[in-house]
Structure 1
Amino acid sequence: MPSTCVHTLYQHHHGWLYHWLRSRLGNSADAADLAQDTFVRVLQKPQRPALMAPRAFLGTIARGLVIDHWRREELRRAYLQSLALLPPAQVPCPQTRELLLELLEQVARMLDGLKPRARLAFLLAQCDGLSHAQIAGQLQVSVRTVERYVADALYRCYLLRYEH
């Protein structure tokens, strides 16, 4: 699909996509952003297939972006709620808050790619400071399995850190 076809796709389906997103998000600004992001994703595809059902194609991309958007919003709400519990002197400045939120989003994306038990083992080790033996007892698996879970999670962290 050359860029002229993407242009035609945009002209013919942007309005439909925007309204579709707006009905799901209930917010015109977010709908406009995600509609644009959808077409950016189309442009970034190394091979663009010939489209028999362009709305289904765009809807699939947009659906993934909506899910990512909701996850980010949920993470942002939880983060802001936890900040509200801190004493005022310990609340980070707005710039630091945004950097921390970005880091949390990266960690959340990394954890989303893990199997549930590997995610739990990693969180128990990193956040709760449990030993591998304690985690093994809690998950009712071998210590070696916990080591593998944690190693997989750390490897994903490494890939995330050095992906660029």
Structure 2
Amino acid sequence: MSDALTSPHNNHLAVIEALYSGHHGWLYATLRKKLGNAMDAADLTQDTFTRILASRVAVIEQPRAYLSCVAKGILVNWYQRKALERAYLDALALLPAPEVPSPELRFIVLETLHEIDAMLDALPPLVKRAFLLSQISGLKYDDIAEQLGVSLITVKRYMKQAFVQCLMLVE
């Protein structure tokens, strides 16, 4: 047998093909029932298989459990994204008509909010909390240290870590 046919890449594709053909319908039906929406279920099903394809997994012992786990993570992200969009649209609804941004600008702002949200989610929980307490709540570093039960130097370290992460978003 040729090396091309037995390569890990071909094995990975065979695993994904078998997973897709054997379980796509089940995953789609599960997500459709959960979401009550065929289009979103189809999108999230495809996102699940795309993520698995990118993962380069070679063996899947329990396909439905694995699919459920990956899909759950994607579903959580999807719900967070929808909540963020609703909050932004609710805030826009409070603006006087002349101040409402154009659809193009709304799209850009939503995409930016999603990037910021993803960046914040990549931070360790205490770093994220310190950053939000500073930037959203306007607390001083001393107050953040007291609220989190850490030293002032630790808060400064957390803030540096968060700002470095923000700079990576801009680059």
- TM-score interval (norm. to shorter): 0.7 to 0.9
Aligned to 1:118: 127
Aligned to 1:92: 101
TM-score (norm 1): 0.86
Specify which of 8, 11, 17 is matched with residue 21 of structure 2.
11
* Separation in structure 2 between the aligned mates of residue 83 and residue 123 of structure 1, nearest angstrom: 22
Structure 1 residue 55: Cα displacement: 1.2
Q: Percent identity?
A: 45
Specify which of 156, 161, 164 is matched with residue 147 of structure 1.
156
Aligned to 1:25: 35
| Structure 2: gaps of 5 or more residues | 1-10
Contact 2:44 2:74 in 1 (8 A): yes
Aligned residues: 161
* Separation in structure 2 between the aligned mates of residue 138 and residue 63 of structure 1, nearest angstrom: 32
| Structure 1: gaps of 5 or more residues | none
**Deviations 1:94-127, CA, capped at 9 Å, x for gaps:** 1111111111111112222334442232123333
Deviates more, 1:99-108 or 1:116-125: 116-125
Aligned to 2:84: 75
TM-score (norm 2): 0.82
* Separation in structure 1 between the aligned mates of residue 19 and residue 147 of structure 2, nearest angstrom: 53
Aligned to 2:6: none
Q: Which has the larger radius of gyration?
A: 2
Aligned to 1:53: 62
Structure 1 residue 78: Cα displacement: 0.7
SS at the partner of 2:19? helix
One-letter amino acid of the structure 2 residue matched with residue 18 of structure 1: Y
Q: Are the structure 2 counterparts of residues 17 and 126 from structure 1 closer, same or farther at C-alpha, using a change threshold of 3 Å?
A: same
Give the aligned CA root-mean-square deviation in angstroms: 2.0
